[in-house]
Structure 1
Amino acid sequence: MLRIHFTAEDLLGVRFADGPAPLVELGLAVAMLQRHDGGPGFARWRRSLSTPRTRAAVAPLRQLVPPDGAGPLFLDPPSDDLDQGLEAVRGSTTTLVHRELTRVTTKGGLPATTLLRRLADQDRDAWRYLERAVRAAYPDLVGTAWPRLRTGFDTDLAWRARVQREHGLRGMLAGLHPGSRWRGSVLEIPAEREVDVRPGGAGLVLMPSAQWTGGPLAGPYPLGTLLVYPAVTPLPLLAGPAPHGRAQDGREAQDDPIAALLGRTRAAVLRLADREPTTSQLAAELGISLASASEHARALRRAGLVTTVRSGRAVRHSRTGLGHRLLSP
């Protein structure tokens, strides 16, 4: 059982993540490859990844991530992109690494392999080896599925918003996973282990994943407790979104007046701005360079259609009222 002990401040601080996080999704994919649930769709997904190249890439990561998905927290920091995440991994403190490796080898049941011992000793070659393994596994396990993971995330948020409108915040939280219930201010969620989580006033960040079928996973992160849970629509049932500005059958959309006015890519940037994406996220979503994404956002900002604000080291773009009205039917 996973028990989340809420304070009033925690309930006020419940919010959703901006989107799926690359390294979180990678860890979940590694766990899913070791599981046998999810039905025929995930069985086909596992078979599609059962190639010598993918198995070799995943082998080091399986030493760190058990089938229940509760791998070491230093391995899957929430981040906007892979490079940013790996930078956070490299910056992990010795205390965090020791604590998390001890946890996965005692409570998680993973063997204390040579790799884990060398990581705990801060062996530079071991950490470089781990980074190479992450980069090798990422394209097959996450990169090719990213559009569908994003679709699954957005679909789940839309559904949770509707549930919250009809049943309130407590009802929405209790509906994140079957069998969940409230006992006073404690949310009890069926899970594979006994875990008590106390956000301590920092709030709860919700992150649905379309490729996870296990129980919700919770862990402390700098911006609050992160709760990862299975999205309402699993990955095998999701079709990738059509490219922005194109019809579903792949032909160029001839009846999009916004694309005709702004250009297809710039219209796509404006539509994506409802999520307040970073420049990196725009580039990844649209398959364009960072420089190109920045230039498109700048042009829309000059036209008064988006605003840009700095959030830490990232820059986020959001639609203005004029931008919303332009897209209104």
Structure 2
Amino acid sequence: MKRIQFTAEDLARTRVATTIGVAAETFDSVRLLKDRDASLVFRRWQVSVRGRLGEQAGPLAALMPRRGPLIDATSLMGDTASIDEAVDNLMAAPRALLRLELGNLDFHPTHRSWARNLMDGDREARLEVAAALRACHSVTVAPYWSRVRSHLSEVRGAFVRTMADGGVEQLFTTLGGPLVRWRPPVLEVAHSHDADIHLNGRGLVIAPTMFSTPQIELLSSPLDPDRAPTLAIPALGHSSLDTALWEDVGQSTAQSLEDLLGRTRAAVLRATLGGCGTTELARRLHISPATASHHATVLRNARLVTTRQDGKAVLHTLTSLGIALLEQRSPLA
């Protein structure tokens, strides 16, 4: 049992997010792929994906010991929905953070030398993890991400409505079913490890997660004690047999989208999934910021993309119509 201690300031600073990050979802998807006792809701996904990961998954598998603590990919690579940003965060992660996250893992003897190099900040070892992350993401997450992201947004929206109707404490009473119990001022979370967690005014971030195990996890940044920890809540239960989530968007869809919009504009539409700024669009697609801005404007005028201010920059995200076009289905389906 984990007991999260709240003050009035913590309750005021509690908020909800859409995702724990694509890196963490990718790690969890690889782990889930090996779990033959996973919920039936993932069975179609497992059948579709299993066998498509080869040796390229090796570095990620090495970071997933069969027993003991697990790696916190959100801490290492952030909660970004962009796989490129996640890789950048991994490559820039401080050596001290690598040692904290990897030092207690029970590595297989054949991986210990490689793991020591990774903990010491070895660039080649990081590149191996980055390549494995991209390869696994392209197979286990990317083909389904638009639907997954949409579902996570719906779950977050339900959290927000509950908070709007009854406050944070009302959310706590309906969160996670029997795995979570609100005993003011303590939120009790069923867990294999016993611990008391004091938020000390930081508040709590509550985020749904798609591919995690049924166990609710508390994620925190060991090098940033002022940052609010994240409570990761599984978004799918055993009864949520929505197999439409696992319909793969194939190559024919991608080709017809390019025929309709043109290659670059279709690439901009795909890159905007999950949210992306103009500078990041330009970097990902190897085009100038002016060109990226032009294509985003055209897509916005067509109501496929919406743009909002995000600090000093802007953030482009897909509308429901944009997602429907990306998946080539009716927006009312």
TM-score by length of 2: 0.69
Answer with 78-87 or 291-300: which moved more: 291-300
CA distance in 2 between counterparts of 1:281 and 1:158 reads 28
Residue 155 of structure 1: CA displacement?
1.9
CA distance in 1 between counterparts of 2:295 and 2:243 reads 29
CA distance in 2 between counterparts of 1:28 and 1:294 reads 34
1:170 corresponding residue in structure 2: 169
Letter aligned with residue 102 of structure 1: G
CA distance in 2 between counterparts of 1:66 and 1:8 reads 39
CA distance in 2 between counterparts of 1:159 and 1:132 reads 36
1:83 corresponding residue in structure 2: 84
CA distance in 1 between counterparts of 2:279 and 2:147 reads 15
Q: Tell me if the contact between 1:30 and 1:65 (Cα under 8 Å) persists in the aligned partners.
A: no
CA distances 1:76-103 after superposition (whole Å, capped 9, x unpaired): 4211311111111111112111111123
2:28 corresponding residue in structure 1: 28
> Could you list the runs of 5+ residues in structure 1 that have no partner in the other structure?
243-264, 319-329
CA distance in 2 between counterparts of 1:279 and 1:42 reads 32
Residue 66 of structure 1: CA displacement?
4.8
Residue 214 of structure 1: CA displacement?
2.0
State the secondary structure of the residue aligned to 1:43.
Answer: helix
CA distances 1:48-100 after superposition (whole Å, capped 9, x unpaired): 2221x414232321221357994234544211311111111111112111111
1:137 corresponding residue in structure 2: 136
1:148 corresponding residue in structure 2: 147
Does 1:97 pair with 2:101? no
Residue 229 of structure 1: CA displacement?
1.2
2:53 corresponding residue in structure 1: 54
Q: Tell me if the contact between 1:28 and 1:212 (Cα under 8 Å) persists in the aligned partners.
A: yes
Does 1:40 pair with 2:40? yes
Equivalent residues, number: 284
CA distance in 2 between counterparts of 1:183 and 1:174 reads 9
Residue 226 of structure 1: CA displacement?
1.6
2:242 corresponding residue in structure 1: 237
1:189 corresponding residue in structure 2: 189
| Change beyond 3 A, Cα 1:55–1:191 | farther
2:5 corresponding residue in structure 1: 5
2:118 corresponding residue in structure 1: 119
Letter aligned with residue 230 of structure 1: P
CA distance in 2 between counterparts of 1:89 and 1:16 reads 24
| Change beyond 3 A, Cα 1:186–1:216 | same
> Could you list the runs of 5+ residues in structure 2 that have no partner in the other structure?
248-264, 318-333
Q: Tell me if the contact between 2:53 and 2:136 (Cα under 8 Å) persists in the aligned partners.
A: yes
Letter aligned with residue 101 of structure 1: L
Residue 231 of structure 1: CA displacement?
0.9
Letter aligned with residue 279 of structure 1: G
Residue 135 of structure 1: CA displacement?
1.3
CA distance in 1 between counterparts of 2:86 and 2:184 reads 37
Residue 196 of structure 1: CA displacement?
3.6
1:205 corresponding residue in structure 2: 205
Task: Report the aligned-residue RMSD.
Answer: 4.1
CA distance in 2 between counterparts of 1:281 and 1:236 reads 39
1:254 corresponding residue in structure 2: none
Letter aligned with residue 132 of structure 2: A
2:252 corresponding residue in structure 1: none
Q: How does 1:158-307 map to 2 (within 5 A)?
A: 158-179=157-178, 180-221=180-221, 223-232=227-236, 237=242, 239=244, 277-279=275-277, 294-295=293-294, 298=297
CA distance in 2 between counterparts of 1:195 and 1:155 reads 31
1:322 corresponding residue in structure 2: none
CA distance in 1 between counterparts of 2:279 and 2:21 reads 11
Letter aligned with residue 229 of structure 2: T
| Change beyond 3 A, Cα 1:140–1:183 | same
CA distance in 2 between counterparts of 1:31 and 1:98 reads 22
